[in-house]
Amino acid sequence: MTDIRVMQKEVNEYIKQFKAGYFSPLGQLARLTEEVGELAREINHIHGDKPKKAEETEKSIEEELGDVLFVMISLANSLDIDLSDAFKLVMNKFNTRDYNRFERVED
């Protein structure tokens, strides 16, 4: 398992090779939205009601999730956000404020 901080460093090293660097946050958000749309399309092809057209290239949900993750990491890096810290914040929220939001599995 790769630590998210290692992933953030790897994405940063990749982006640093290019003169343009990170896109603007708004540009990255647009790209993230596009990638989430591609993920939704693949899920709809596999688990939904929309069959893939014969001329459409074969992609996997795994690949599309990877694209979403890469862009999300790029956005976090460009805003100097540590995703480990962001994850801890959200898990604290789910484990406190949202603790009783859903019916729990009985032991």
DSSP result, 82-101: -HHHHHHHHHHHHHTTTTTS
Q: Is the residue at 75 inside a domain?
A: yes
Report d(CA 91, CA 54) in Å as an integer.
Answer: 42
**Domain count within the chain:** 1
pTM of the model: 0.86
Q: Is the residue at 19 inside a domain?
A: yes
Q: Domain range for residue 38?
A: 4-81
Q: pLDDT tens, 74-94?
A: 999 999 999 999 999 999 998
Q: Is the residue at 98 inside a domain?
A: no
For 73, other C-beta atoms within 10 Å of its C-beta total 21
In CATH, what number is assigned to the domain containing residue 69?
1.10.287.1080
Report d(CA 28, CA 76) in Å as an integer.
Answer: 10
Q: Is the residue at 22 inside a domain?
A: yes
Q: pLDDT tens, 21-73?
A: 999 999 999 999 999 999 999 999 888 887 777 777 778 999 999 999 999 99
Q: Is the residue at 90 inside a domain?
A: no
Q: Is the residue at 91 inside a domain?
A: no
